[in-house]
A and B are shown apart, each in its own frame.
Chain A
């Protein structure tokens, strides 16, 4: 079964991860723009990061047979840096126009501050301007209240709920998100957020419609194989293949295809690997024999 990890921060991961993901069946990823573990102190460092998302990282994924898309956004944690907001929002607007950018995100709330409100609303407008869907981060702290506040903002902004993916859901946020008409993402983590067995229980209870899972793997302790591992857990629990396929492939494809920049027929085809290729003169190889698909 081919699978789609719609939220994974590959700039923080290794080539071994790419190889293992492809081996496990992951052929498409979406990498949301996010923070780097500590606050950036200059607008320009965001620009280099955005350039890497549409450049080097897309190439790196391709070298392992994985199609790489990304989202652009000022993440909620750094939306609290007043000296950065306007400059970064300008960059988000600029880079939102690039090929391979399939949503604005991850945006939303962290501390649930007025500054985060402002950044969220501004980026909803950027999404509207570029006709892109949005990927929304929900806060780790006071999560249910933050999720309900997010849904209120989206409703008031008038953005169609089918163009919104609310991420990092739990048992306590999922019902409201499904009721809203938005898509519901779940980040399967080793300890926090959601785990495989809890996800199985949610699918049994709520079905597969508008349900999405991801690894949200990043620079912390996380697992880039959580999508295939959760698919296996669902299979072991007796969930039928068509429902699993819907969750790990059809749903994320359908959501991000709304961007007009993800061609369904293309992503369903096999991406041939040719590791002889270079990116601005640089290779992912360090003396290894290049893999070349026939």
Chain B
């Protein structure tokens, strides 16, 4: 895995990293309060370098990086309270907060504990929230059950998001996913509507298909 958010913060904004290192988050409610406010600690700049899984579009701010670093440092100390604490963050956070939580899920200890949070994000009608789990994020391919992964792809086909941004798609190309993709194409053709430009990625039968 590439550099941790805290390491990047220490390089790019050492004063903020020192300040973050000095705070004690304590429990879930304290994390919620700090998580909301910490985005305003720093300047409004953009870090020079951040891992693609945290910001595939390169739009991460110093505030986003601070939030990611906070999760990196605080979540291990929450123990088995972590899933509830992160669920609370995604229920009560604004879009920027939710996006950071979703992008950090796979980097946190025992990420499979956060499956419900990731699945809920797939049901979101807030496009940046859906994109945060669907695009450039290794979590779905690693942890989603087949049916949920297929729903993610089906939803993405109805959006303008690129299919090419889904990490691990080739490893999850099952016969059922291809059936869903063909059903999508058939419905679009019947309605006289264009297909998603990346649709050929799902219709190329030359590639290996998992049973």
In the complex, what residues of B have CB within 8 A of residue A143's CB?
A: 183, 187
**A232 within 8 Å of B (CB atoms):** no
- Which among B124, B147, B157 is the interface contact of A113 at CB below 8 angstroms? B147
Q: B183 touching A140 by the CB < 8 A rule?
A: no
Give A112 to B183 CA distance when docked, in angstroms: 15
- Which among A77, A142, A192, A194 is the interface contact of B183 at CB below 8 angstroms? A142
Binds A, one of B58-66, B131-139, B148-156: B148-156
**A150 within 8 Å of B (CB atoms):** no
**A51 within 8 Å of B (CB atoms):** no
Give A170 to B190 CA distance when docked, in angstroms: 8
**B123 within 8 Å of A (CB atoms):** yes
Give A140 to B156 CA distance when docked, in angstroms: 12
B105-138 with Cβ < 8 A to chain A: 119-120, 122-126
In the complex, what residues of B have CB within 8 A of residue A289's CB?
A: none
Q: A172 touching B190 by the CB < 8 A rule?
A: yes
- Which among A39, A41, A142, A172 is the interface contact of B180 at CB below 8 angstroms? A142
Q: A141 touching B154 by the CB < 8 A rule?
A: yes
Give the one of B123, B148, B184 with max A CB within 10 A. Answer: B123
**A198 within 8 Å of B (CB atoms):** yes
Give A192 to B187 CA distance when docked, in angstroms: 11
**B158 within 8 Å of A (CB atoms):** yes
Q: A41 touching B91 by the CB < 8 A rule?
A: yes
A132-152 with Cβ < 8 A to chain B: 140-145
In the complex, what residues of A have CB within 8 A of residue B192's CB?
A: 198
In the complex, what residues of A have CB within 8 A of residue B191's CB?
A: 170-171, 194, 198
Instruction: Tell me whether A39 and B154 are in contact in the complex, defined as CB-CB below 8 angstroms, given that A112-B147, A143-B187 are known contacts.
Output: no
**B186 within 8 Å of A (CB atoms):** yes
A45-90 with Cβ < 8 A to chain B: 77, 80-81
**A131 within 8 Å of B (CB atoms):** no
Total residues of chain B contacting the partner, CB 8 A: 25
Identity of the chain A residue whose Cβ is nearest the Cβ of B126 in the assembled complex = A38
Q: B151 touching A141 by the CB < 8 A rule?
A: yes
A191-243 with Cβ < 8 A to chain B: 192, 194, 198
Instruction: Tell me whether A111 and B123 are in contact in the complex, defined as CB-CB below 8 angstroms, given that A141-B154, A141-B158, A144-B183 are known contacts.
Output: yes
Instruction: Tell me whether A38 and B151 are in contact in the complex, defined as CB-CB below 8 angstroms, given that A142-B180, A171-B191, A172-B187 are known contacts.
Output: no
Give the one of A37, A38, A140, A141 with max B CB within 10 A. Answer: A141
Give A194 to B123 CA distance when docked, in angstroms: 22
Q: A39 touching B151 by the CB < 8 A rule?
A: no
28 interchain pairs, CB-CB under 8 A? A38-B124, A38-B125, A39-B91, A39-B120, A41-B91, A80-B123, A111-B123, A111-B151, A112-B151, A141-B154, A141-B157, A141-B158, A141-B184, A142-B151, A142-B154, A142-B183, A143-B183, A144-B183, A145-B179, A145-B183, A170-B191, A171-B187, A171-B190, A172-B183, A172-B186, A172-B190, A194-B191, A198-B191
B interface, CB within 8 angstroms of A: 91, 119-120, 122-126, 147-148, 150-151, 154-155, 157-158, 179-180, 183-184, 186-187, 190-192
In the complex, besides A77-B123, A111-B122, A111-B151, 11 extra interface pairs with C-beta distance below 8 angstroms are: A39-B91, A111-B148, A141-B154, A141-B155, A141-B180, A141-B184, A142-B154, A143-B187, A170-B187, A171-B191, A192-B158
